[in-house]
Structure 1
Amino acid sequence: MSAAPSPLTDRETEVLAAAGPDTPIRDVARAVFLSPGTVRNYLSAITAKLGTTTRADRFPASTE
């Protein structure tokens, strides 16, 4: 049986991988070659798709 497909697009997954819970937006933007505003939009979409409410909630392993 295969795992359920991710609700995130490839680009959203890339942005999420570059963004840590304490990584500044501008650093994420530089890493993925996007503007800070576009990174914020991606992070908002990721937050909605994952059903989280805060940026830190997207990184459960880092808060344990």
Structure 2
Amino acid sequence: MSARVQTRCRRRGVEVNDGFFLGGVSKDRVLRLKPRIYFDDQRGHLDPLDGVVARVLLPYGVANATPTP
């Protein structure tokens, strides 16, 4: 788990047992582990999981940038 994520979690009192940073790799393998909560930075990865697992959008990166007029 990255140091940045560990620090943020600790500051918020969140204890994480396992963390996977997939960087574009298929999510299927991790979802087979039946996580309690799933974080992703793209809504397109989260929407298909509706009703499967608790999910959180992390609005970070180019995919979540607000278009400029």
**TM over 0.5, shorter chain:** no
In our comparison, the structure showing a higher alpha carbon Rg is 2
Q: TM-score, normalised by structure 1?
A: 0.33
**Greater per-residue strand proportion:** 2
Q: TM-score, normalised by structure 2?
A: 0.32
**Greater per-residue helix proportion:** 1
